[in-house]
Every structure is written in C-alpha cells, then in structure tokens.
Structure 1
C-alpha cells in the first residue's frame, strides 16, 4: 500500500521532507525552556514545515550538542507521509489494514494471488534481530540526562519533559525475544535527575498493565528517542491490546523492524533509532509527576507515577533529539488524530457496518466528542451505535459525547450538525445519559477522578415506534432547476 519509499529511520524521513521543501533548519540559538515550544506551536498553527533547531540552549545557558527536531507531524500531509502514502490515500490504507486484521476467506487462486501485498505486509510485521546497530555506536552507562535538550514547554510546567518517547515494555513471564508481547506507548517522561525519569502511564494503557504484572520484581524498560515514523505513528495508534505496536509498525513501514539487544536490560530495542534510554522501574519507586500543560489546554495536577532509573543511554555518533509539545488544539497530537480518524474508519465499519462516517473534532481534544452518520434501518439503531462505539476501543471510553446523524449529513460540517440537532433531536426523547463510566482523569470537569457521565444525542430521523408524529420531508430543489440556475449564472458570480 505504500506509495512512498520505505523510511527505515528518522533521518530518511527528514531527508524526504527536506527534498519536499518541508523542513526548516534554524541556526539561531533557541532556549529549550519556553522559546522552542513557542516557535514550534507558531509553525504548526501556520501549517508550516518541520523544524530542526541546530543550536538548542540548555537551562544553564550552554548550548546542547544534540540538535532538536520538532513539529514533525504538524500537518496531515506529513502524517500521511510518515505512513508512506499521500493524504488522499489514508482511507485506502485503512481498508488495507482492516483486511489485514480480519481477512475474508480466500476464493480461488486468483483471489489468493491478489492478496500477495497483504501477505507481504504480514511478513514485514515480523521483527528481525541484528547484532550491531547505529543506535549503539555510543554506549554511556553513566548518562547525564540534564545535558539533553529536553524542553520545558509551558510556564507552569514542573520541569523538563521528554514528550516523544516510544516506551517499550513487556509483561512479566516473557523473554526479551517475545516481541509480539511488547507494548510501545507514547508516555511523557519527566526528567528529575541525571539518571531518573518519571513515566506517566495511565492505568488503562499497556505500559501500566505490564507494570502491574511485574508485582514486586524490577521491570525492564526502554525509552526510544527518535524512532522511525512508522514506529512513532504505530505507537500512537489506538490498536487493540492484543496487537504489538512494535511488530505492527513493520506493516506500516513496508520493511521488517530491525531490533538489537539492549546493553543493560533484557529488552530488544529498535536498531535504527537515534537514542535509547535503558533502565529499570523498581517496586515502590514513585515520584510526583507534574503539573504539566496538557492536550486539554489546562495544566494537570501533580500525581505519583513510577520512576525509571536509567542504566545506560545508547545513541548514534551524531544523534538527533525528537520533541513535541501538547496544548489546546491545534497541536501535534490533534493533527495526528485527524489522520488517524480516517485511518480507523474501515476497522470501525468491520464492527459497525452501518457506519457511514465518523468525525472526532480536533478542537474537542481529538476524542472527547464524536459525530457519527449511519445508514439507519430500524428503531433504536442510533443508541446501539453509541454503545458499540463506547465499548469498541479503550480510547472511546473517554468520549464523553456522541452525536448520531443520518447518512445525508456531513458530520465534518458544524452547520450540518447544528441543523440536525435543531430539527431531528428532542432533548427529552433522544438523549442517552450514562453515569459512573470510565473517564480520563485529566478531565477535571468530571465529578470524580477517572469516573464520569456520558451523553449520546440521537439526531437521526425517527421511524416506527420512535415517534407518534409524521416526520418532516427534507426540502431540496429539483435537479432541472438547479441545472438551469447554474447555466444562467455561469461566469456571473
């Protein structure tokens, strides 16, 4: 499905962007505290290029020796390019991945041969272990993380925050070679010392589940800094818990993921990454994380999370540090979410066949509100779709409002949404309220931390026992009159 050449590492992707005129190098000194975030957010808001800061300034005023890459996925086009395709092919890739996830039975030799790209993608998902790797050109077993150009993004932040790590974990009882059991999650990591970082993984995320499995035993962890675009985006995708992002990225990349044994922990790590932090999370070792500015546009409160003690930092001879910043949309996660919305639609339709379109408005923090159109056939169908969405993916358990409309509505158009809410929705009849359901604990609008209500609005045409009145007929001009108007006014308006 890729229309772009494979990009085995971050450098290959940056070279592609530079060739497209979509990478800006900034030679001037830029402070890692606040200034870098301000520049990157300004560039993102303007639809500008990816950025490379060649003279990052550390907290003590000295210049870091490692350049910083930011705003990497600041436009939908760059997210699609990271997936290896053009923006208008995202839906096709989504359909391909849906078929890869749940293939239909093979019907004859011709059908089998037509599925060769699917088989090749499945084979590419199998990692390959190598003995030597660029990411281990330098091995530092006494690292000082304060010398890295880690951003402090917002004035109220507690300190420097690693914002784009791919955190690799595996459950207790597995071996380092069991890569199908690995979880790769993007969890922010607060630097609190030369070799200590706080890992903020929420209770429902894969990393936290693995942490619970280790109980009273130390847990090996690896933080990948500057992964290739397929692994970065694969780690950000809301995949089912049984799917390893590490292996899934091979299908996105079109090449097998090359892994190398870590030097100080029993883990395999991406061979082509820029940097890797290896270490252990010891039982009971926690520290207050935050406050930090978050994707909601507010600061979250400080709370205890596990601490990772870093036992080694490995990196290339001339590494790059990849960073981002989150805040009120638009930010990089909301741009990525916009593309993932289209990528996930075919998978959603596998479980909800009547689904026509679904939009997660980026301004609503990417997933807090969903607007859905369906091909309605029977009474109560809108409510069934609501409950199916809330239970389909862990991410949707945080969607506090779902609006369901008919297929004739453009769910990505706020005017259409307002029109159907005003004409097809009755608050007393068409409202579904749920209480005491899971919620992002960062949502301080909820009455209880991690527990809140949800609302579903049925803005579909009511049929059968859903109404006792004749339903209105939507007005539309005749095609002949519309054609006449177009001919009459052509070139005049």
Structure 2
C-alpha cells in the first residue's frame, strides 16, 4: 500500500490523467494543476518534465471520489460520510492494527549521502510567481522524535529548497514540532528529522490528524484493515514508510534559522514573508533515500477549493466529529469543516435537538474542542434535516430559520493561526474573534414554521416511472 497503489486505483476509477506533454517545473505544473482542481478534474501525473526524467503527482485529494478511493470506501460517499467512517474506525485506540517493522523496502533502492546529496535531482515545482523559491515539501510528513518521551510525530510543514542540501521548514509557534524542537535546544543538541515525500496517502493523512496515544502507522493500518509497514531510516533511526518515494534524512539546528518564504498559502494569500524575511528552522539534508524513478508528490495551494482544501476539510471534519463523539454530545447528525473556508475557518454541525439550548451546547463544544479551538472563526448549527456539507440547504437555513439577534454570539478572543490574512499584520496574529450562528428552529417554540414538502406517495410513484419521462 503506497502512493503508486493509490495512483493505479485512481486510474482504474478514471480519476487520473497521465500528462505526457513536456511541462516546466517553473509555474507550469502548478498552474495546470490549479486549473484542473478548480474544475474538479482528475489527479495528474506529469511524466515529462523539462530537464528531468522523473514524474510529479498532483491533485490527490481534490474530489470526494478520490478521498473515498484513498479510504477504500464506496466512491459515491460525500466528504461528511467519508469522515464519519474514519471517525468510527479510529474513535478508540483499542483494537488498532499495529504496524509492522521491516528491514528492507523500496525506499532503500537508492541511498545517497555525502557529496551525492543534491536536491536539484528532483523536479521540484515553483508554484506561484511571488513564491520565494521552489518548494520540495508541500505534501510532506516530517518525522521527529520527542527526546523526553520517545514518541514520534509526523508533522506537515512546508519546505522550501534553499540550496542543494538545505530546506527551510515552516514549523509554526505552538505546534508540536516546535515544542519538540525546544526540548532539543534545551539539551544543546540538533534535532534528527526525516522528511517523507510520497507515501500511502493514508499515512500522510494520519499525520495531519490528532490521535493521542496512537501511532500514525497504526492508525493507517486500522483504517486500511491491513498492517502498515515501516522501517528505521538508516541515518536518523526514525520510522519511515517502507514504500515511500523519497525520504530526506538530516538534522535541524534549533538555534540556527534562515529566511524561508514567501509562499502562496492555502488561504489564497501570501503570508508576512512577502514583506519582511522571517527566519525559520532549516533541515540540513545529509542523506537521501529514494525509489527507482521516484514520484515527487506535490500540491499547490492558493484560493479554495483545491486539493489541499479538500484534504484539510476532511481531516478537520474527522477530528472534530471524533472529539464531539468523545465528549458524548447528543444528537449530532453530521459535521463538516467547509473546504470553501480553506478547510479551517468555518464549520457546520447538523443536530437533532432534544431540549432548549441544545444547539448552543453543540456550538460551545465545537469551540472548546482541540480542532475548533485553533483558527476556527465561525460555527453554524442547523437542524437534522440538513446535512452539514449541503451548503445550498445551510444557506436556506441561514435565510429562513436564523435570526441574527437571537441566533448570534460573538466571542472576542480565541487561538488563531498567523497564516490568517484577515488579522491585522501589525497586531496580534495569534488570536481571533469567533461567531456562533444558530440556524436551528428554536426547540421550545410551540408553533414552528411549516415546511412545504412533497407528497411521499407521489414521489415513490415518480421514481418508479422516472425512465418513462425521458429526463436524463
């Protein structure tokens, strides 16, 4: 189970296009990918890149069908339904399918060290005109080990290729990677790191989720229903997928930073690096592992909705729904962190109300969860007859069930991300305000609005005769 298996599955489901026309790594790959993703087109495997012999893969998560393919689920499932399946399989750490350590694997087909280390060997794209350079790590998992607990973390941090042996790594303040890095700084040691580029998409996805007390490799195997395999990278001793395409092994000096960026982020805007250099940690690449004919897995970002927004929406929907289940919040029917909100800033929860104040309890629970407490700016609650990812119906509820005075609560202060372009660049970039919008019909109303509904008997008759009408 690796990236190539997923690519083949996409091809079988007519969700892949092999691009054999020569393209340039400089802007062309990213722009073709962006236009394709915005039209909900296929994943792309660029097989002829100017100056290179190896391919680039983009668009892995851009449609709900490809999300379902990755999860081994029926292809018609919505984002909400796929996230619910993930939640059900991973709600508890009991009964996890433990990953298996192996001594060899395709990733060890080529081991380059010393003077042979040269990041220019890969067709690393430049994505947008104002980017600070080429970004080798966009679909990347950076493996770190906590020096105190021994726990392993797979973090998703963008990586700019600074030169042939160094990558800038954007480890944001407060993230687990930064907390681990500070421990190495306290010990006066460099931090071993291994960057995985190209693997089973489930491993990458597990690394973006929060599963306390469970290995990302174990989570992957549990969702897949089959043991995941990993091996210990020969230089760092960190676990990496045996079938990974590329692994960059090296060290990060917690006290030696270099400017990284700018980069067109998932918000559709550039971050502060566009106006002033911001020093970031640096991965000193000491060894490269790669398969024969390695596939560089990449994603552009920019304005929604594209590949990365679908990924973020899925992972945050899955973690938020899991947390609400763990809180034992009653009545939750469906959950969605909207891809249209970059997969972060707005969420919708559908619930079956059971008592007055129930919808506010749900909104408060979202805001108090790990997922909702970071970056979330808006929470909308709707009644059970509306699916959380049905935006057409959500806006109907906001129009015909929501009263701004009755249904709105403003929260002045909550944790945010410095990547949010709506925050004052000269102010506090780590906190934001929040809005709770209750679009449910109040439970306690004795006389509720009467919805215009079709006749069920007639609907059944029509469905049985649909082919007779000649309507496609």
1:321 Cα offset (Å): 1.3
Contact 1:83-1:233 at 8 Å conserved across structures: no
Q: TM-score, normalised by structure 2?
A: 0.87
Partner Cα separation in structure 1 for residue 352 and residue 460 of structure 2: 31
1:174 Cα offset (Å): 4.7
Match of 1:114 in 2: none
Match of 1:144 in 2: 118
> What number of residue pairs does the alignment pair up?
453
Partner Cα separation in structure 2 for residue 99 and residue 72 of structure 1: 22
Match of 2:223 among 249, 252, 265: 252
Match of 1:39 in 2: 32
1:158 Cα offset (Å): 0.5
Describe how 1:7-406 pairs up with structure 2 within 5 A. 8-57=1-50, 63-88=51-76, 91=81, 94-95=84-85, 97-98=87-88, 100-102=90-92, 119=95, 122-123=96-97, 126-142=98-114, 143-162=117-136, 163-175=138-150, 181-215=151-185, 216-236=188-208, 238-302=209-273, 303-340=278-315, 343=318, 347=322, 348-351=324-327, 352-394=329-371, 396-406=373-383
Partner Cα separation in structure 1 for residue 237 and residue 82 of structure 2: 38
Residues 66 and 262 of structure 1, relative CA distance in 2, 3 Å threshold: same
Match of 1:452 among 417, 432, 435: 432
Residues 279 and 96 of structure 1, relative CA distance in 2, 3 Å threshold: closer
Partner Cα separation in structure 2 for residue 281 and residue 137 of structure 1: 25
Partner Cα separation in structure 1 for residue 111 and residue 457 of structure 2: 74
Partner Cα separation in structure 2 for residue 413 and residue 305 of structure 1: 40
Unaligned runs of 5+ in 1: 1-7, 58-62, 104-117, 176-180
Residues 481 and 475 of structure 1, relative CA distance in 2, 3 Å threshold: farther
Partner Cα separation in structure 2 for residue 486 and residue 374 of structure 1: 30
1:188 Cα offset (Å): 0.9
Q: 1:416-469 CA distances to partner (integer Å, 9 max, x unpaired)?
A: 3334333433333322111121012111312420111001012222345xx8xx
Residues 66 and 436 of structure 1, relative CA distance in 2, 3 Å threshold: same
1:99 Cα offset (Å): 5.4
Match of 1:110 in 2: none
Partner Cα separation in structure 2 for residue 30 and residue 423 of structure 1: 50
Contact 2:313-2:344 at 8 Å conserved across structures: no
SS in 1 for 2:103: coil
Partner Cα separation in structure 1 for residue 459 and residue 12 of structure 2: 45
Unaligned runs of 5+ in 2: none
SS in 1 for 2:162: strand
Contact 1:34-1:151 at 8 Å conserved across structures: yes
Match of 1:407 in 2: 384
1:43 Cα offset (Å): 2.1
1:75 Cα offset (Å): 2.0
Partner Cα separation in structure 2 for residue 264 and residue 374 of structure 1: 50
Which stretch shifts more, 252-261 or 185-194? 252-261
Residues 337 and 261 of structure 1, relative CA distance in 2, 3 Å threshold: closer
SS in 2 for 1:220: strand
Partner Cα separation in structure 2 for residue 431 and residue 14 of structure 1: 45
Contact 1:224-1:277 at 8 Å conserved across structures: yes
Contact 2:353-2:443 at 8 Å conserved across structures: no
Partner Cα separation in structure 1 for residue 15 and residue 451 of structure 2: 46
Residues 417 and 191 of structure 1, relative CA distance in 2, 3 Å threshold: same
Contact 1:182-1:246 at 8 Å conserved across structures: no
Match of 1:443 in 2: 420
Contact 1:446-1:453 at 8 Å conserved across structures: no
User: Rg: which structure is higher?
Assistant: 1
1:28 Cα offset (Å): 2.4
